[in-house]
């Protein structure tokens, strides 16, 4: 044994002994006691597993807003713990994210228990590592988990103490996957782009409608996926996971998004926009899921149900690894050569499936605090019946992507997010004039109140205009010929629902930086009309038929100015330019 190996062994032994002294060697399974681990207990437990088993490693995967690291726990039979090397290994990677909302801790506890059981080979479970690499975020919202209280979840009885929904910036991290305001998001997205996961799971708890199920599931919209991948996902993978859960004590149902107020009248598949974890992950041809445990069920059952689901997800991926890897590889090739992309979808209510649903009818009773009547789910009135399930969506708007986009280097917020999501970019080597298509905002609705820290834009309309634009050395050219094309198009097309423009990345272009003085612009305005007979004719017609305009000197000068070379080219122009194929 070399001195270097001796030093490493000595350090590991000392660290293990110190951790054993500082924290419980085998903390109790908290969900059996209706409580959840603290942040430090959780990280210590993963650290002990890392020290105890050669197939495990706990690494720091970046920073979070609260100042503490984002941890990643890796289970690898091959003992490969470098995220970049894992992403290059051609092994199926299952990426599990927990604690995005720390007041929903079932997945936190289930992932830890499953990791222990796999590594200790309980019931021969180490076989799950034969064909998969499992990567677990112990807790994503570290700031929210540290903000622990009895009084965060008013609708939740179990566990009685848990974390807070907002993170260190008071952000809902499950609305942050495109704008990436948080360090949490930027750290996770960088790791994701290095790992190239085949499967992604985000664990949650919901306090929506009441029903008989402990666990529900949101699969990403299969229509958004490459057709072959989407067909396998919808027809094979998702049904197999529902069948698997039927064999456990925890039968599963699709997430209960009621269509007409109560689930007995039908439920609808969740439209997971890119702001949400699954919507974002699926942009990169990843099989994406979100579990939603039922808050009204005992905590131990919540944990056990998601434990079973994760185990089933790993088993399915291992069995179908070769087929799933081939589908992803084909989807990446297809996306890289794809020309047309759907920006927005809407439910197709003309199509539905009938599924068996176990719920409760509603009754009316008087509120004990208010004395006023309200509707509630009556557990004395259970039902089992077929209900409509709407999981078909149809395109609303489709765009043809350009050969490339160009973003000037001044817009670093957008460039940084493209970079951390693994998007390949080229920097211009010299100042140059390029013939491009510019996009000008013609209409936009501004939010009247903030949404997750932004006054997001809606109902965006724009016009295109061919222009020769001067770009500078160091500006960024983004080829639309890569597996991340869907992310590129969804962020750079201004009217996409989660575009960078909609999230206020480019708001300065909505303000004018140059204007005219009505006291001195008269002579220039006269010359503009002289040099533009067509404009002069339209201007005179407007005076003739618009009496208010005819009496308002300022409006007339503004009209001429807005149709003159004096109007700044950058006003209302998105700083994203398209290059022709």
Q: What is the pLDDT of residues 440-484, one digit of tens each?
A: 999 999 999 999 999 999 999 999 999 999 999 999 999 999 999
Q: Following DSSP, what letter does each residue of 349-401 receive, concatenated?
A: TT--EEEEEEEEEEEEEE-TTT--EEEEEEEEEEEEEEEEEE--EEEEEEEE-
Whole-number pLDDT of residue 331: 98
**Which DSSP symbol is given to 451?**
B
Q: How far apart are CA 16 and CA 373, in angstroms?
A: 59
Domain at 53-337, CATH class = alpha beta
Q: Is 499 helix (H, G, I), strand (E, B) or coil?
A: coil
Q: Domain map of the chain by residue range?
A: 53-337, 395-512+570-579, 522-562
Asked if pLDDT for residue 366 goes beyond 90, the answer is: yes
The two tokens of residue 54 are: 């050669």
SS percent in the chain: helix, strand, coil, step 5: 35, 25, 35
Residue 21 in this model has a pLDDT that exceeds 50: no
Q: Within 13 A of 254's CA, how many CA atoms are on the CB side?
A: 24
Secondary structure E strands in 132-256? 133-137, 199-206, 215-219, 252-254
Share of the chain above pLDDT 70, in %: 95
Least reliable range by pLDDT among 7-21, 143-157, 254-268: 7-21
Specify whether the CB–CB gap between 343 and 397 falls below 8 A: yes
pLDDT score recorded for residue 28: 52
pLDDT digits (tens, 9 = 90+) for 119-130: 999 999 999 999
What residues pair up with 94 in beta bridges, in sequence order?
134, 199
Q: Rounded to a whole number, what is the distance in angstroms from the first to the last CA of the chain?
A: 60
Contact call for residues 250 and 308 (beta carbons, < 8 A) = yes
Residue 498 and residue 445 in contact, taking contact as beta carbons nearer than 8 Å: no
Task: Please state which of the ranges 19-23, 113-117, 466-470, 472-476 shows the lowest mean pLDDT.
Answer: 19-23
Task: Give 440-448 contacts, CB < 8 A, sequence gap 24+.
Answer: 440/464, 440/465, 440/572, 440/573, 440/574, 441/494, 441/501, 441/509, 441/510, 441/572, 441/573, 441/574, 442/572, 444/510
So what's the pLDDT on residue 160? 83
Helix (H) or strand (E) holding 427: strand 426-427
Higher pLDDT, 155 or 80: 80
Report how far residue 461's alpha carbon sits from residue 495's, in angstroms, rounded to the nearest whole number: 7
Q: What is the pLDDT of residue 29?
A: 67
pLDDT interval class at 570 (50, 70, 90): very high
Ordered DSSP codes for 62-91 = EE-TTSSEEEEEEE-TT----HHHHHTTTP
How many residues belong to the chain?
A: 581
238-288 confidence digits (pLDDT tens): 999 999 999 999 999 999 998 888 898 899 999 999 999 999 999 999 999
Which H or E run includes 343? strand 340-347
> For residue 239, how many other CB atoms are within 10 A of its CB?
10
Chain-centroid distance, C-alpha 166? 16
- Model confidence at 327: pLDDT above 90: yes
Cα 381 from chain centre? 38
CA–CA distance, 45 with 53 (Å, rounded to integer): 12
**For residues 360 and 296, what is the distance between their CA atoms, to the nearest angstrom?**
13
DSSP-based three-state secondary structure for 435: strand
- CB of 141 closer than 8 Å to CB of 184: yes
Whether pLDDT at 27 is above 50: no
Q: Look at residue 456 and give its three-state secondary structure.
A: coil
Tell me: the pLDDT tens digits for 209-235? 899 999 999 999 999 999 999 999 999
Q: Give the C-alpha separation, 423 to 345, whole Å.
A: 24
pLDDT of res. 9? 42
Question: 97 forms bridges with which residues in the sheet?
Answer: 137, 202
| Residue 92 DSSP symbol | P
Cα–Cα distance between 31 and 9 in angstroms, integer?
A: 34
Mean model confidence pLDDT for the chain: 93
* Residue 155 banded pLDDT, cuts 50, 70, 90: confident
Q: How far is CA 301 from CA 104, 214, 258, 467, in A?
A: 13, 7, 24, 61
CA distance 207 to 292: 9
Enclosing H/E stretch for 336: helix 321-337
Range name among 26-40, 90-104, 537-551 with the lowest pLDDT average: 26-40
Once rounded to an integer, what is the mean pLDDT over residues 71-95?
97
pLDDT band at 20 (very low <50, low <70, confident <90, very high): very low
């Amino acid at each position: 044994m070399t001195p270097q190996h001796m030093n490493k062994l000595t350090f590991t032994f000392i660290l293990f002994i110190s951790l054993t002294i500082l924290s419980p060697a085998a903390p109790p399974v908290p969900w059996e006691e209706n409580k959840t681990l603290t942040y430090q207990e959780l990280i210590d437990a993963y650290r002990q597993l890392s020290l105890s088993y050669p197939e495990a490693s706990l690494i720091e995967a970046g920073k979070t807003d609260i100042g503490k690291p984002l941890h990643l726990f890796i289970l690898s039979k091959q003992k490969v713990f470098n995220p970049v090397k894992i992403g290059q290994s051609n092994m199926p990677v299952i990426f599990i994210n927990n604690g995005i909302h720390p007041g929903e801790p079932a997945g936190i506890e289930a992932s830890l228990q499953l990791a222990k059981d796999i590594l200790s080979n309980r019931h021969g479970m180490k076989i799950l590592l034969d064909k998969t690499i499992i990567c677990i975020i112990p807790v994503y919202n570290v700031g929210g988990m540290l903000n622990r209280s009895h009084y965060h979840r008013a609708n939740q009885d179990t566990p009685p103490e848990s974390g807070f929904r907002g993170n260190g910036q008071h952000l809902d991290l499950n609305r942050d996957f495109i704008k990436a305001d948080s360090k949490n998001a930027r750290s996770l997205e960088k790791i994701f782009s290095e790992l190239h996961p085949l499967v992604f799971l985000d664990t949650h708890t919901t306090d929506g409608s009441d029903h008989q199920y402990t666990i529900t599931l949101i699969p990403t919209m299969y229509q958004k996926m490459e057709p072959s991948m989407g067909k396998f996902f919808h027809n094979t993978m998702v049904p197999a996971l529902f069948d698997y859960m039927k064999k456990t004590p925890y039968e599963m149902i699709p997430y209960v998004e009621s269509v007409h107020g109560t689930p007995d009248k039908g439920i609808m598949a969740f439209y997971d926009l890119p702001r949400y974890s699954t919507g974002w992950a699926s942009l990169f041809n990843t099989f994406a899921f979100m579990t939603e445990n039922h808050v009204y069920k005992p905590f131990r059952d919540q944990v056990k149900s998601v434990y079973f689901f994760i185990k089933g997800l790993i088993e399915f991926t291992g069995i179908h690894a070769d087929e799933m890897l081939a589908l992803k590889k084909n989807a990446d090739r297809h996306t890289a050569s794809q020309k047309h992309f759907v920006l927005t979808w809407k439910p197709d209510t003309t199509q539905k499936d009938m599924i068996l649903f176990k719920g409760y009818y509603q009754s009316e009773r008087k509120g004990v605090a208010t004395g006023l009547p309200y509707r509630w789910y009556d557990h004395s009135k259970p039902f089992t019946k077929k209900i409509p399930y709407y999981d078909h969506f149809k395109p609303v708007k489709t765009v043809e992507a350009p050969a490339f986009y160009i973003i000037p280097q001044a817009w670093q917020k957008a460039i940084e997010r493209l970079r951390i999501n693994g998007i390949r970019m080229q920097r211009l080597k010299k100042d140059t004039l390029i013939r491009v298509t510019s996009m000008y905002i013609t209409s936009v609705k501004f939010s009247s109140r903030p949404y997750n820290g932004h006054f997001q834009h809606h109902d965006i309309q724009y016009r295109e205009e061919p222009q020769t634009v001067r770009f500078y050395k160091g500006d960024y050219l983004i080829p639309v010929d890569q597996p991340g094309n869907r992310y590129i198009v969804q962020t750079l097309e201004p009217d996409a629902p989660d575009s960078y423009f909609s999230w206020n990345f480019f708001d300065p272009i909505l303000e004018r930086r140059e204007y005219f003085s009505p006291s001195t612009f008269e002579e220039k305005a006269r010359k503009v009309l002289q040099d533009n007979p067509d404009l002069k004719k339209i201007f005179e017609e407007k005076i003739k038929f618009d009496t208010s305009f005819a009496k308002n000197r300022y409006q007339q000068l503004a009209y001429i100015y807005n149709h003159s070379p004096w109007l700044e080219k950058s006003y209302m122009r998105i700083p994203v330019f398209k290059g022709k194929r």
